[in-house]
Structure 1
Amino acid sequence: MAMNLVHDSDGLPRIILVEPRGSTVEVLLYGGQVISWKNERREELLFMSSKAVRKPPKAIRGGLPICFPQFGNFGSLEQHGFARNRLWELDPNPSPLSPINNQSSVDLILKSTEEDLKTWPRNFELRLRISLSACKLTLIPRVRNMDNKAFSFTFAMRNYLSVSDISEVRVEGLETLDYFDSLMERERFTEQADAITFDGEVDRVYLSTPTKIAIIDHEKKRTFVLRKEGFPDAVVWNPWDKKAKALPDLGDEDYKTMLCVDSAAIESPIVLKPCEEWKGRQELSTVSSSYFSGQLDPRKVLRGGY
């Protein structure tokens, strides 16, 4: 189980995790952000914008950014909070969370800075364990209240997934659920479709979601399985063509090969009393599949049959 710390030409420290079967993960200390996850066949599983800016203080468009202490503009802070454009550190005192046999892991920490306290006057510690095993990437965030009074926050792990063609992707596990539609001034609707498919811009926060969601990529014959704990909500986002052209750090055609399905806690902010800690967990795995030939039944994926 290997972990290497290297410094890129852009000056951003980068951690490389390697798993015995050959899969790899790359993590920047800037943002505590996973920017690459490749399987044993060296196929990239995460999307990275062709115009991504890797220069502080800009956030990096792609990979797995951490949205804390605010998701989106659900509050008074900058978009998606500040954790994704701060320099994290290797955690010198990682707490034991669970056995990490057959895993390659790294523990990171982000603490309040004087600059952060000016805009969000709460003293916190945010820890993140990133673990890689065969066909699986696990992230465990923990937030501890180091202040002398209670505070609340929203949180999301934005997952930029690499897909072959967004029009050939379907998301299962969110049917019949209520959602806030950010394209309709956060009006609340109920999902009517059997599965979510894409033929235009989508920006929704699904509420009271299950612990397992399947993202089926027909063309690549691959299904992402997202398992989550401590995250009651899920965000589904694709900017489509007009929004993609309006975003300076996203290529005009990039929307075709990306989809965000996020683990999130948005509708009901997390409240921590002094010295209390919140912990979440997200597990991304892949299943080889051929949906049309019946080799993968998405209902079995959601029930745990795979």
Structure 2
Amino acid sequence: MPMNLVHDVDGLPRIILTEPTGSSAEVLLYGGQVVSWKNERREELLFMSSKANWKPPRAIRGGIPICFPQFGNLGSLEQHGFARNRMWSLDSDPSPLPPANNQSSVDLILKSTEEDLKIWPRCFELRLRVTLSAGRLTLIPRVRNMDNKTFSFMFTLCNYFSVSDISEVRVEGLETLDYFDNLNNRQRFTEQADAITFDGEVVLSYFHIHV
């Protein structure tokens, strides 16, 4: 399916994915960030802040930023790590895509640089596959350890969804997972509800992964 690489008015290269029902997605090479996802009715499903700064090296507020190798300020690095303000590349040697019809995808890669190694001395390859199909946008990240020893990292896809009525939103599938509540002195809790609804400020969570 079609994939176009264009340069926007700010000079940032972006990939435009489309599929037959009319939905589309736009992915920046800067930050590997999805900045638009429209359904078949051309309705935008992602939120982009009107105050978003599109000039590197600033992170772009909105869409789906990638937080790696740190989430928030839970470490010694800059807020949310550095992957979201690095220039990614098209992956020239991606994993084979499984057979599928009527979908389009792009594979991106971010490799550790000398600049990164100065602030986080871990050698890595971070890959991201973005796939668009009817009614679905799928992001599959993979971190490859290129070092000679294990290391730990944090990874988050920080989704900014555009919703017309927050009271109608439900998030399911988090029951029994642990989280840290940033609005309650970062205490650790276990989610008990089978669905999360929203009527005010909400918690933030992260997972600590070893590779």
The normalised TM-score by structure 1 is 0.65
1:190 CA drift (Å): 4.2
Whole-Å separation in 2 of the counterparts to 1:189 and 1:127:
31
1:175 CA drift (Å): 4.7
1:75 CA drift (Å): 1.4
Q: Note if 1:49 corresponds to 2:37.
A: no
Whole-Å separation in 2 of the counterparts to 1:84 and 1:117:
16
1:106 CA drift (Å): 0.6
User: Could you say which structure has the higher strand fraction?
Assistant: 1
User: Could you say which structure has the higher helix fraction?
Assistant: 1
What does residue 156 of structure 2 align with? 156
Whole-Å separation in 2 of the counterparts to 1:138 and 1:147:
28
1:35 CA drift (Å): 0.3
What does residue 217 of structure 1 align with? none
1:1-306 alignment to 2 at 5 Å? 1-175=1-175, 177-191=177-191, 195-205=195-205, 266=207, 269-272=208-211
SS of residue matched to 1:84: helix
1:158 CA drift (Å): 1.2
1:154 CA drift (Å): 1.1
1:97 CA drift (Å): 4.5
1:2 CA drift (Å): 0.5
Change (3 A) 1:60 1:188: same
SS of residue matched to 1:42: coil
SS of residue matched to 2:141: strand
Whole-Å separation in 1 of the counterparts to 2:146 and 2:120:
13
Whole-Å separation in 1 of the counterparts to 2:57 and 2:85:
6
Report the residue type matching 2:108 in the other structure.
L
1:9 CA drift (Å): 1.4
The runs of 5 or more residues in structure 2 that have no matched partner are none
Number of aligned residue pairs: give it: 211
SS of residue matched to 2:49: coil
Report the residue type matching 1:44 in the other structure.
E
Whole-Å separation in 1 of the counterparts to 2:191 and 2:160:
22
Whole-Å separation in 2 of the counterparts to 1:44 and 1:192:
32
Q: CA deviation digits over 1:238-285, x for unaligned, max 9?
A: xxxxxxxxxxxxxxxxxxxxxxxxxx5x1xx3222xxxxxxxxxxxxx
Q: CA deviation digits over 1:144-198, x for unaligned, max 9?
A: 1111222111111111111112244333333565432111121123445564332
Greater shift in the superposed pair: 93-102 or 26-35: 93-102
The normalised TM-score by structure 2 is 0.92
Change (3 A) 1:6 1:271: same
CA RMSD of the aligned region, Å? 1.7
Greater shift in the superposed pair: 184-193 or 150-159: 184-193
1:88 CA drift (Å): 0.3
1:76 CA drift (Å): 1.1
1:92 CA drift (Å): 1.2
Change (3 A) 1:39 1:204: same
Whole-Å separation in 2 of the counterparts to 1:196 and 1:166:
11
Greater shift in the superposed pair: 125-134 or 190-199: 190-199
SS of residue matched to 2:204: strand
Whole-Å separation in 2 of the counterparts to 1:46 and 1:94:
26
Whole-Å separation in 2 of the counterparts to 1:176 and 1:21:
37
The runs of 5 or more residues in structure 1 that have no matched partner are 206-263, 273-306
Whole-Å separation in 2 of the counterparts to 1:162 and 1:156:
19
